[in-house]
Amino acid sequence: MIYMRGIFDDWQAQGITSVLHEKSGGYANNRKALEGLAAKAEAEGVRIVGGVTVTGFSHDSSGAISAVETDRGNISCDYVVVAPGPWAKQFWDMLQLPSTISIKNPQSGVITSDIPMWIYWSLQEGTLGVDPKLQQTNDGKMPPVIHVDTDAPLYSDVDGSLITDKMWGIYYKPDFHFDGIQGGAAPFIVDKSADAVAVDPYGPDSPEFIVGEDFANMWVSALAHCQKRFSGTMAQYKKEPSGGIGAFTPDSFPLFDRFHQNCYMIADSNHGYKMIGVGKLVAEEICGDNSRLLEPFRFSRYIEGKLHPVSNSPFPWS
Ligand SMILES: Cc1cc2nc3c(=O)[nH]c(=O)nc-3n(C[C@H](O)[C@H](O)[C@H](O)COP(=O)(O)OP(=O)(O)OC[C@H]3O[C@@H](n4cnc5c(N)ncnc54)[C@H](O)[C@@H]3O)c2cc1C
């Protein structure tokens, strides 16, 4: 509380489990960041061909991938790298990898079978249409992302009703691109088998996986819970479609591994920008240098019981 009041004099959230305040963090617009990366790749002589849909893979007699099948014909290849984001399950199925897996408990050694390889989480994001400068710090600066996890009861900023008395979490930042305070709340598991989830149309175009009034009420109330300056701003919440789904692994950690001898899969389990350096490590692995950093993220970790710590946070990627 004292630390946060030193940054925002209206900070009022008490009993917080954790606050992540990235002193030197920042924000990059996703499209612009990717355009920058594409330009760097093209400057190295890479040719990027967009608008091609992969429909399957052809294998040679040894089981290695010999061609990528697409809606524009087959493309023969020596090596395939797939980084499909929320479409991980579609590629997993095309690669004929198992839809369920077995996981060994590292403590007891007990193996549990039939665990779905992919589950979807619905990510909750939106924008409060206030002046982004409203969020300036006591010394007049623009802060980076604030991330709060807490089990304090959350009450509606509109009518004082209880929204939740369970663990909740939010993140938010001033955003000049979206012109407001942009952020989100803890995602929730999509209550359907992965086969029944329609990933497309994706994101704001999805009729199913966009945030609604419940999110607006929760998130803006949570902002007001943390900082008094957001109290009474519910009417300024931007009612536009936002959010999306993510394909998560059973332990919500990324999967970086080689399949069928010559197919490298980068399944980031929705971990986002912090995975950006993985491309270099994967390129080194493909060229023959095994990466110690990527080793904990192999597919074999499940059956070998070499699992990652389980987070207490309501966020699956914390
Ligand atoms: C609502 C939301 C908010 C997020 N906010 C953040 C954030 O603030 N910070 C952060 O770091 N991360 C964030 N993420 C996570 C981040 O967007 C993902 O982790 C990241 O985009 C994954 O990158 P990727 O390159 O692995 O996959 P993607 O960026 O998803 O790229 C996969 C590509 O595969 C293409 N594709 C799919 N199927 C086919 C096919 N059959 N043939 C050919 N191409 C195909 C898709 O069109 C897409 O271009 C957010 C995610 C969501 C849903």
Output the tens digit of pLDDT for each of the chain's 318 residues. 888 999 999 999 987 877 777 776 667 888 999 999 999 999 999 999 999 999 999 999 999 999 999 999 999 999 999 999 999 999 999 999 999 999 999 999 999 999 999 999 999 999 999 999 999 999 999 988 899 999 999 999 999 999 999 999 999 999 998 999 999 999 999 999 999 999 999 998 998 988 889 999 999 999 999 999 999 999 999 998 888 999 999 999 999 999 999 999 999 999 988 888 999 999 999 999 999 999 999 999 999 999 998 877 888 876
Whether residue 129 lies inside any domain: the answer is: yes
| Smallest CA separation from ligand 1 atom 14, residue | 272
Q: How many domains in the chain?
A: 2
| Smallest CA separation from ligand 1 atom 9, residue | 272
Q: Are residue 132 and residue 15 in the same domain, yes or no?
A: yes
> Ligand 1 centroid to 147 CA: how many Å?
21
Characterize 84-94 residue by residue with b for buried, 16 or more Cβ atoms within 10 angstroms of its Cβ, and e for exposed: bbbbbbbbbeb
Task: Give dist(CA 292, CA 296) in Å, integer.
Answer: 8
CATH number at residue 267: 3.50.50.60
Q: Are residue 106 and residue 127 in the same domain, yes or no?
A: no
Range of the domain at 165: 2-23+119-248
Backbone angles phi, psi at 59, to 5 degrees: -115, 150
Q: What is the pLDDT of residue 274?
A: 84
> Is the Cβ atom of 271 under 6 angstroms away from ligand 1?
yes
Task: Answer whether the bond into residue 201 is a cis peptide, omega within 30°.
Answer: yes
Q: Which atom of ligand 1 is nearest to the CA of 266?
A: 26
> Is the Cβ atom of 123 under 6 angstroms away from ligand 1?
yes
Q: Are residue 146 and residue 271 in the same domain, yes or no?
A: no
Looking from the CA of 86 toward its CB, the CA atoms found within 13 Å total 17
> Is the Cβ atom of 259 under 6 angstroms away from ligand 1?
no
Q: What is the pLDDT of residue 318?
A: 67
Q: What is the pLDDT of residue 317?
A: 76
Q: Are residue 188 and residue 151 in the same domain, yes or no?
A: yes
> Ligand 1 centroid to 89 CA: how many Å?
13
| Smallest CA separation from ligand 1 atom 12, residue | 272
Q: Are residue 85 and residue 102 in the same domain, yes or no?
A: yes
Q: What is the pLDDT of residue 200?
A: 96
Q: Are residue 127 and residue 154 in the same domain, yes or no?
A: yes
Whether residue 201 lies inside any domain: the answer is: yes
Whether residue 14 lies inside any domain: the answer is: yes
> Ligand 1 centroid to 86 CA: how many Å?
6
Whether residue 43 lies inside any domain: the answer is: no
Task: Give dist(CA 307, CA 61) in Å, integer.
Answer: 34
Whether residue 293 lies inside any domain: the answer is: yes
Q: Are residue 12 and residue 131 in the same domain, yes or no?
A: yes
Task: Give dist(CA 116, CA 114) in Å, integer.
Answer: 6
Q: Are residue 106 and residue 196 in the same domain, yes or no?
A: no
Structure tokens at 199: 């990933």
Structure tokens at 58: 């052809």
- Ligand 1 site-directed mutation target among 127, 199, 273, most atoms within 8 Å of CB: 273
Tokens 């699992």 belong to residue: 307
Whether residue 313 lies inside any domain: the answer is: no
Q: What is the pLDDT of residue 81?
A: 98
